[in-house]
Structure 1
Amino acid sequence: MTINEGLRFAAGIFTLLSLLLGVYIHEYWFFFTGFVALNQIQSAFTHWCPMMWMLGKAGLKREQVL
């Protein structure tokens, strides 16, 4: 798994988890959903995301550009 695949996986898990927590536990969890969305938007412009750094430290490799 590459960093980009791991990033998409983590964003999907965090989004789904925060939605479920917002529906079944407390609506304040929807703020976390918003945080994930805002982080995805900012990373589209800056090409930097804290999760990419963490996934790199976890041993995932960057994709090879041909």
Structure 2
Amino acid sequence: MSLDRAVTLFAGFMVLLSLALTHWVHPAWVWLTVFVGFNLMQSSITGFCPAAILFRRLGVKPGAAFR
């Protein structure tokens, strides 16, 4: 799995998790969704993505996103 796919998968998982937590635990969990969305927007503008740094340290190799 490439780094781009890992980051995209993680972001999608976090959005779905935060929506589930919002529905079943407490409405304030919606702020996690807001944080993930904000982080996606800022990383597309600045190129800085904490999740990508973490995945790189875990050994995920950069490569073509979709082959």
Give the TM bin, normalised by the shorter chain. Answer: over 0.9
Q: What is the rounded CA distance, in whole Å, between the counterparts of 2:23 and 2:33 in structure 1?
A: 12
Q: What is the rounded CA distance, in whole Å, between the counterparts of 1:63 and 1:46 in structure 2?
A: 20
- Work out the number of aligned pairs and report it: 64
Unpaired runs of 5+ in structure 2? none
Q: What is the rounded CA distance, in whole Å, between the counterparts of 2:55 and 2:46 in structure 1?
A: 18
Q: What is the rounded CA distance, in whole Å, between the counterparts of 2:21 and 2:55 in structure 1?
A: 24
1:46 to 2:43 alignment: no
Q: What is the rounded CA distance, in whole Å, between the counterparts of 1:48 and 1:61 in structure 2?
A: 17
Task: Tell me the amino acid that sits aligned with residue 37 of structure 1.
Answer: G
Pairwise CA distance, 1:35: 0.1
Q: After TM superposition, which residue ranges in structure 1, 4 or more long, deviate above 6 angstroms?
A: none
Residue in structure 2 matched with residue 13 of structure 1 by the alignment: 13
RMSD: 0.8
Residue in structure 2 matched with residue 28 of structure 1 by the alignment: 28
Task: Tell me the amino acid that sits aligned with residue 8 of structure 1.
Answer: T
What do the CA deviations read for 1:3-59 (whole angstroms, capped 9, x no partner)?
100000000000000000001100010000000000000001001100000000010
Pairwise CA distance, 1:63: 1.2
Unpaired runs of 5+ in structure 1? none
